[in-house]
Every structure is written in structure tokens, then in C-alpha cells.
């Protein structure tokens, strides 16, 4: 660890309010690396458990953080917080392969609907 590099104190809140992944992280850590750690620490007794890092989204400041970005590139910093701790939210959204129209019967295609909330 380099001298003078400020470590970021982070914790991650999952869907039921449980915090995981407490610790200090370097600003040069990528979001994908964070997700890998969260996946390894995920409580297995929960009703929703991600199978891979692609099933998780990390949210900070209203933005979904991209896997290939570092914390510094994602503008994560603690200068505005009195105790220097940041809570990020983790959403589990499994990647589902969509069926193509070729695999669906005519009835399935005709019965599909979509809704728009205004």
C-alpha cells in the first residue's frame, strides 16, 4: 500500500438491510474486484443469493458503478462525510437470457403485454 494514498472506508447494504463487505479499500480497486469480494462474503442464508458478479449491481450516489471502473474513476471519495464511511447499495438482478420469437408459439407472442407507468 502506497504512503499518502487515502483509503476508502466502505460497507455494502443488501436488499434486507444487512451490511456486508466492511473494510478499507484503495481508490484503485475496480468495481469488479469489489463484487468478487461481496460474492465470497454473501450470507448464504438469504432468500436471494447471486451466482456471479454479473448478477450484482453496486449503486453509489444514484449511479450504477461499472465493473471496469476503479473507485477513483467512479468519483467515490469520503471528503464530504464526517466519519469517512460510505454505504453503497447492492442489488441482485440475475442475468436472464431472453427467448427469441423463433422459440415462442404464436399464442405466447399474442398474449404478451407491456405496461407503461406515467
Q: What is the pLDDT of residues 77-118, one digit of tens each?
A: 765 565 668 889 999 987 666 655 555 555 554 555 566 665
Q: Which pLDDT value is given to residue 114?
A: 60
- Within a 10 A sphere around the Cβ of 3, how many other Cβ atoms? 4
Q: How confident is the model over 6-17, as a mean pLDDT? A: 90
Q: What is the pLDDT of residues 34-72, one digit of tens each?
A: 999 999 999 989 888 999 999 999 999 899 999 999 999
In the chain, where are the structural domains located? 8-111
Q: Which pLDDT value is given to residue 84?
A: 62
SS3 at position 13? strand
| Nearest C-alpha neighbor of 10 from the set 48, 33, 43 | 33
Q: Which pLDDT value is given to residue 1?
A: 45
SS3 at position 22? strand
Where b means 16+ CB within 10 Å and e means fewer, 59-78 reads ebeeeebebeebbeebebeb
Among the CATH numbers 3.10.20.90, 1.10.3720.10, 3.40.980.10, 3.10.310.30, which is that of 8-111? 3.10.20.90
The model's pTM is 0.71
User: DSSP states of 53-98 as a string?
Assistant: GGGEEEEETTEEPPTT-BTTTTT---TTSSS-EEEEEEEE----PP
Q: What is the pLDDT of residues 2-11, one digit of tens each?
A: 455 688 899 9
Amino acid at each position: 500500500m502506497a504512503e499518502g494514498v487515502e483509503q476508502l472506508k466502505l460497507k455494502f447494504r443488501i436488499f434486507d438491510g444487512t451490511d456486508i463487505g466492511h473494510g478499507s479499500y484503495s481508490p484503485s480497486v475496480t468495481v469488479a474486484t469489489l463484487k468478487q469480494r461481496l460474492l465470497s462474503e454473501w450470507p448464504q442464508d438469504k432468500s436471494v443469493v447471486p451466482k456471479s458478479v454479473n448478477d450484482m449491481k453496486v449503486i453509489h450516489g444514484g449511479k450504477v458503478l461499472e465493473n471496469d471502473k476503479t473507485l477513483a474513476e467512479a468519483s467515490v471519495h469520503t471528503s464530504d462525510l464526517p466519519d469517512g464511511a460510505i454505504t453503497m447499495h447492492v442489488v441482485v438482478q440475475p442475468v436472464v437470457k431472453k427467448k427469441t420469437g423463433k422459440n415462442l408459439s404464436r399464442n405466447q407472442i399474442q398474449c404478451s403485454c407491456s405496461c407503461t407507468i406515467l
